[in-house]
Structures are given as C-alpha cells and as structure tokens.
A and B are shown apart, each in its own frame.
Chain A
C-alpha cells in the first residue's frame, strides 16, 4: 500500500487544481468561521443589552460544535477534490494504463479509498485546529469536552468524500459528476428532509434517508441551542451514525464491485 500511495503522491504533487482546492478549503474554513465569529460578537452585544442569555458559541466547549457545524458546509471541497482525481484517470485513460502496466483492478480502486480517508483526516485536522484557535481567541480555557464533534466531523467528511468517489467512478465524467454532486448535495438533499419534517410534526425522519443530509445530522445546530431545541427536534446522533456507516459501506462496495467487474 505504501508503494501505491507513493504513486498517488506522484500524480497529485504536480496537479495544480488539487492544491488550489486544498488552499480554498483552508481559506474558506477560516473565513466562514471568522464571519460567523464577527456576527456572533455583534449579536451577543445586542442580546446582552436586551437581557437574553444565549451563551457564547465560540467559547469552550461549544466552540468544537460551532466550528465543525459551520465547516461541514464546506465538505463539498474535499468531495470535489476526489471527483477530480478520479475522473482525471478516466479522462486521461490512465485508469486503463495503470492496469495495463501492472496494477490489479483491486489495487487501483483500493488506494483511492485510502486517499479518501486521508483527505477526510486532513480536513478534520484543519477544522480541529481552527476550533482550537477560535476557542483560544475567544479567551476561554481549553477543554477536551466536546472534542467528539471533531470525530463526528471526520465521519461526515468521509460520507461527503465517499459520495464523491461513488459518483466519480459511476459517472466517469468530471463535469457530470461535479454537477450532480453539487445540485444533489446542495439542493435536493437539503430540501427533501425539510419537506418530510413538515409532514411529520418536525420529526427528522427525512434526514435518516438522505445520503448526505444524514451526515449533517451528526453535528447539531450550535447557535441558540436551548431555544432551537424547543422548536425543532434534532436528529438522533446514534441513528445518524449507524446510517452514515451503512452508506459508507454501500458507496465502497458498489464502487469496488463495479470497477472489478466492468470493462474499463
């Protein structure tokens, strides 16, 4: 596997699009949290004046929840990265050449899974460090309480990235895969659970059935926690986690079986 990863590194290290997307992701994580940090400070000043205590979402331990939730909107970036890396192979027909030169089909597709895990890990580290930084800037004492949100972010990242892997291997074309990933993930996957929620008295059933929204259900909405909880029932963490793992298995098994059986 080490040799396979070295090959992937040779493919990636001179691939400019990859590094641009990585840089954009890091910038966006810092940027989006910085904006919400600034807004939150203003809201806090206002609510304090009116006398409603909302708690500070940028203080430990809530900051882990806040930053991971905000940053989960940006998981499309690592999704795009994996889509480009895989559809490139199809565009250049190097998926064929790699097999011709002596990789087994299983090796070719397995190292992509490892790449997904590494990407998810990288995204998680960036987000974890950002959380720590904002918590420290907020002036509260650091605590590992709430660190589970970073772990959940890793699972959510895996779901987003493997959904991208699945689409890329299935559709083979970059434009098609990116288009469907974006339209599906940003629109359909968010609208359907909302509609279902309305039908069932605010119960989060819809979330459980969606391939991406279920990952969003892992990390609850961090702002105005007590007020929100009274209005909307959050998705059950353990159900979401179980369904996420089921989806991950599905994406993986579908992809590897398809790649092993079909003409390339």
Chain B
C-alpha cells in the first residue's frame, strides 16, 4: 500500500487562536479516511492547508510521496467547506471550467451529473440551486476525470435525508472501486458508517488516529445497583476482566468490559460470593456518541 497523504507536524494560528497544533498523520491508498471533530476543531483548516489555500505556520504536506503542488491537486477531486461556483453560469458551464482547470479532456459532464441526480437541472444557473443541489454539483465536480483520490469536507451538509443516504452510498461505492477518500465530518455515525480509518481532532490537537475499529471501540457496559452502593463499588474493582467502573444514572454503577466480553452471570455470581445481592443488573451497549464525547473530553 502506498501513502497518499502525509501530514507532518502541521501548526497554524489565526491571531491568538491555535487552529492546529503539531498535527501528524498519514492516509494509505484505498482507505476511507474520516477526520472527525466538533465544529471549530480545525478540520477545514487542515484540509485548506493540504490544498494550498491556507498557509501553514510550520510543518509539511506530501501527496503521493512528493511535496504538495498544483499539478498533484489536479488529480484530486475536492469539495471544501462550501460549493464554490460562478453564480451566473449553469451547471454544465461550471463543470466545464472545473474540468478545464483539472486538464480533463472530454469530461463526462452528463455522467457525473447523473451520478448525483442533477441531470435534469444541468442547464439551470447555479444561483437558482437550493443548498442541497449546490452540494450535489460540488460532488459532481469532484468526480470529474474519475480521480483516484477525493477529499470531501462535510459532504452531506445541507442535504435532506434521502440526499444524505444517496451521497453516503455514492461514497461507499467509490470506496468499493478502490478510490481513496478523505472525509471531514462532525457527525460520528457518518464516519462510523462510511470510513475505514479515522483521525479525531479537537481544538487543533490530534487526539487519536487509526482504524475505526480500534479508535471507536464499542465497550460493553453492565449497569448494576445494590442497597449498599459504596460497598458494591469497592468490590466491583476486583471483578474479573473489567476495564473500569463509573457512576451511572440514578445511583447505578457502570462496569466496563471489552466489546463482547461482558458476562452477566459471572458478574452476578461474583457479587454474590462477595456478599452483596444485586437489585439491578442489565447489559448496555455503549453508544458511539458517548465514546466520542469521552475521547474529546478526556484530554
């Protein structure tokens, strides 16, 4: 596997705001790489630097093993932040300009417009488009010239539920064709549904990066209650295989286990042999949201 993108020690400040701090990661060919982070975490800033519309304070970017330059950018389909097109031109004219810049000869403009369901409006001016249609046109523009690498910044922004699932399907299909996709999102389920790898950003700091299954592990949670909660908490720390004990809602305790490793019978038996009778015992799956919040809150 070759490395498509390598980011080394990237830092960028806007005045006193540190938008990125020493961020490093790499993206391998063929993976769907999600950049996950809350609003204002530096996702767009980072992509902007990769695409040379923002200047990094320090650090370097390499694309396909060489320092980033405009000729390499021609081979990447990109949607950054908002769909940017000439308002007074129609969809086809706008795509012709984009294809001209990318140096795509004989661009399949009808084909890409069909892929994003915009074919019927191909001769309408961009200024008459709804937000969702603008977004579709931007994705169509990314597909011009059938690039091997695509960068999508919040690709489902402004789309209705049908549009969202269409675009996610399209991205999955592109991934299945072996394309490398780098996608920024603040929506965890989107990243989880679509991506194979993920990097988590918070306030410009890279918190974690790696395979989705490793980063966004689904822990098993066993919720328990007893009359003497303090005594219960004391013994639970010794429960076999547990990975942590936290206070839950309504005076309950949460015992964490690695995914699929929780055994209610064993927990019940353990507490009973330690002299505590449980009044409540249930298995809960930890939601990804809470995992995400936990990761971004921890540091």
Contact = CB atoms under 8 A, between A and B. Distances in A.
A102 B86 contact: no
B97 A10 contact: yes
Contact of A10 (B51, B78, B93, B102): B93
B82 A98 contact: no
B80 A100 contact: yes
Interface in B36-95: 48, 51-55, 69-71, 73-75, 78, 80, 82, 84-89, 93
A145 interface: no
A88 B75 CA distance: 26
B244 interface: no
Q: How large is the interface on B (under 10, 10 to 19, 20 to 34, 35 or more residues)?
A: 20 to 34
B98 interface: yes
Contacts of B55: 261-263
Contact of B70 (A6, A93, A94, A99): A99
A102 B53 contact: no
B84 A7 contact: no
A136 B55 CA distance: 58
A259 B27 CA distance: 30
B101 interface: yes
B101 A98 contact: yes
Given A101-B98, A101-B102, A92 B93 contact: no
Interface of B is mostly: loop
Contacts of B85: 92, 94, 97
Interface stretch (A72-80, A103-111, A124-132): A103-111
Interface in B96-125: 96-98, 100-103
A93 B87 CA distance: 11
B84 A6 contact: no
Contact of B84 (A11, A16, A94): A94
Contacts of B88: 14-16
25 contacts: A3-B100, A7-B97, A7-B101, A10-B96, A10-B97, A11-B86, A14-B89, A16-B88, A88-B86, A92-B84, A94-B86, A96-B53, A96-B84, A98-B101, A100-B73, A100-B78, A101-B73, A101-B141, A102-B70, A102-B74, A102-B75, A102-B102, A104-B69, A264-B53, A264-B54
